[in-house]
Amino acid sequence: MTVRLCLCCLHRGQPIGWPAFFMIRKNPFRFFLLALTLIAIDQGVKLAVHQYMAPGFAGQIKVTGDWLKLHYVLNPGMAFGMQLGHEYGKLLLSVFRLFAMFGIGYYLVYLAHRGAPNGLLWAMAMILAGAVGNVIDSTFYGVFLDNAPYGSPTPWFHGQVIDMIFVDVWEGFIPEWVPVWGGQYYSTPIFNIADSCIFIGVCLILFFQRRFFGEQSVEEGMLPISGPDATEAAVVPASEPVDYNIENPDTNAGVVEGSEPEPHSASESISQEERKAEE
């Protein structure tokens, strides 16, 4: 049996693997647009809380029952109130956030140009939004909102992050038998929208990592980002179909490689004509 094919995706005479054929180089603009939208929401909520709410329990607002509340608190450390116990811990944290912000942005562009799954790109955009949101707080809030901790060497890069989302599931003293934290008072961490973006983005990557990374390898599943443009293809006109022999694949070497098939000898041509005449 011979099938007539039109090979329309050959790169420099070599067929592109099927995974690469479907992995199209993507424009990262829409993913950065999502990140910018989330950053704007995060900053708008933080500034509204700072302007219209009193800090602490005095300004606490119940949203849903007793378990979801708005609670204005300043966080001098990392997400969920964690801190670096060092004199220059805040400055180191702010510098780290800056490098992380640019690194995540670069990685998002890198993944988009290699045709990564949309789910992975949306998750990376959320992580980028969360990183940028908290970088803005720690870099500028000490100057413009005057909320740098007392004794800070400079208000720049020492701003405190504004947290307000309080999921009050449980609070109390941790049992003494618990290592390290035994006997300490514990309350559910208070966080903000930027922290939520980072948390949700990381969870999406962890939950769907097999879908994002398992179905394709770097060599076979994504287009190269260097060298000749992988989107360029040599097109075989539809008016010139190629004969592909399914019953005897060994004779298709020239078809697969994009070269002309080997001509048949005169005796083979005569024998084929005789068989057709007999039929």
Could you tell me the residue ranges of all domains in the chain? Answer: 1-16+233-263, 27-221
- Tokens 């005169």 correspond to what residue? 266
The pLDDT value given to residue 149: 84
Mean pLDDT of the 55-76 span? 91
The pLDDT value given to residue 236: 47
Q: Which of 36-50, 75-89, 171-185 has the highest mean pLDDT?
A: 36-50
Mean pLDDT of the 119-128 span? 97
pLDDT at residue 52 tops 60: yes
The pLDDT value given to residue 263: 55
**How far is Cα 193 from Cα 49, in angstroms, rounded to an integer?**
12
* Higher-confidence position of 111 and 91: 111
- Tokens 């287009």 correspond to what residue? 223
Residue 163 designated active-site: yes
- Average pLDDT of the chain, as a whole number: 77
* Higher-confidence position of 77 and 196: 196
pLDDT at residue 251 tops 90: no
pLDDT at residue 133 tops 90: yes
pLDDT at residue 147 tops 80: yes
**How far is Cα 19 from Cα 219, in angstroms, rounded to an integer?**
10
**How far is Cα 23 from Cα 221, in angstroms, rounded to an integer?**
7
pTM confidence score: 0.67
- SS3 annotation, the chain: CEEEECCCCEECCEECCHHHHHCCCCCCHHHHHHHHHHHHHHHHHHHHHHHHCCCHHHHCEEEECCCEEEEEEEECCCHHHCCCCCCCHHHHHHHHHHHHHHHHHHHHHHHHHCCCCHHHHHHHHHHHHHHHHHHHHHHHHHHHCCCCCCCCCCCCCCCCEEEEEEECCCEEECCCCCCCCCCCEEECCEECHHHHHHHHHHHHHHHCHHHHHHCCCHHHHCCCCCCCCCCCCECCCCCCCEEEECCCHHHHHHHHCCCCCCCCCHHHHHHHHHHHHHC
Catalytic one of 42, 168, 195, 243? 195
pLDDT at residue 184 tops 80: yes
Residue 195 designated active-site: yes
Mean pLDDT of the 191-195 span? 95
The percentage of the chain sitting over the pLDDT mark of 90, rounded to a whole number, equals 42
Catalytic one of 42, 66, 137, 163? 163
Mean pLDDT of the 128-143 span? 94
**How far is Cα 43 from Cα 55, in angstroms, rounded to an integer?**
17
User: Can you list the pairs that 52-56 forms with residues at least 24 positions away whose Cβ atoms lie under 8 Å?
Assistant: 53/164
